[in-house]
Each structure stands twice: as structure tokens, then as C-alpha cells.
Amino acid sequence: LFSDLQYFPIPLSENEGIPDVVFEDGWGDERTYGGERKHEGCDIMGTERERGFYPVVSMGDGVVERVGWLEKGGWRIGIRMVSGAYIYYAHLYGYSRQWKEGDRVKAGELLGFMGDTGYSTVEGTTGNFPVHLHLGIYLKTDHYEEMSVNPYWILEYIKKKRIKAMY
């Protein structure tokens, strides 16, 4: 997994005065929308700016496995890394282009923009929670088809590897 990951998913702005994103370890926290469950990701918060402001890039090379609307995840894209890990980017406000399953993605490629979509059966719903990127990481194991792993420590490890962008 670590050999696949090349970049933190939110570029660092080259414009002075743009507030940086923040994240904390929320993996395993309780969630209630759609039934009681555990949070299977880490939320990178971009609440200092409006939806669609912060760009989201691919953390590594891979192939788009899932894309489109999910009730809980809103506009999302899931990428299967070379090593087999599945990286799930959710609550996007929009995509950088019309992605489709099977598209190849390069590390650092623009996927879309941070948003607040989801928590609704109505496609395109926004505003049910603060602007953020939900990042999930899933690994195949001998005991489970896919198992969620805590992305927090991976994000801590990779946060120094950021693309710089003008936004």
C-alpha cells in the first residue's frame, strides 16, 4: 500500500491566505444516517471555503472501479491501486471530467473537488454536513472480501508529499 501512495489527496495552495485543510482520527466513530454504523474513513475538512473550492487528487496510480452517486457518500470515486488497495473519495462536489469505470488514473491527477454531497436518496443533494473529503481505504484479506483500515496514520505519513497548485 505505501509504495502506491505518492501524494496527499488535497494539494497545497500556492496562494497566500488560503486556509489549509485539517483532519483528525475519526475512524470508528459512530454514525447514524442509514442505520447505526462505524465511520470507515478519515474526514479531511475544508470548512473554511465553499463547496467546490479545494481540489482532490489521486493519491496514486490506479484504475477507476466505482464512480457516481451513493446515498451515504454522495458523488464519489473509488480507485483500485496497483497493490490492490481500494481508495474511496466521497462527498465530492463535482468531478474534474466525466470519469467512467475502467479509466486509468495517474498519481496526482485531478479527480474532482471537495464538497458536501450525500446523505440523501436524491442525487445531487448538498448541505447535510460541513464541506469535507471522506477518504476510505480498504484492503483485501484472507478473512474478508474487503476490510476498512484507518486512513488517519496513512494521511499523517503522506501529508508532507503534497502537490502545489494555484487555487
Q: Is the pLDDT of residue 144 over 80?
A: no
Average pLDDT of the segment spanning 122-151:
94
Measure Cα distances from 129 to 42, 51, 101, 117, 159 in Å.
15, 11, 28, 8, 24
Residue 34 or residue 136, greater confidence: 136
Stated pTM of the model = 0.94
Residue 11 and residue 162 in contact, taking contact as beta carbons nearer than 8 Å: yes
Q: Is the pLDDT of residue 21 over 90?
A: yes
Structure confidence at residue 1 (pLDDT): 75
Average pLDDT of the segment spanning 98-120:
98
Percent of the chain surpassing pLDDT 90: 90
Average pLDDT of the segment spanning 59-79:
98
Taking only Cα atoms into account, the Rg of the chain, rounded to an integer number of angstroms, comes to 15
Per-residue confidence at 2, pLDDT binned at 50, 70, 90?
Answer: confident
Percent of the chain surpassing pLDDT 70: 100
Per-residue confidence at 102, pLDDT binned at 50, 70, 90?
Answer: very high
Residue 87's nearest CA partner among 111, 70, 71 is: 111
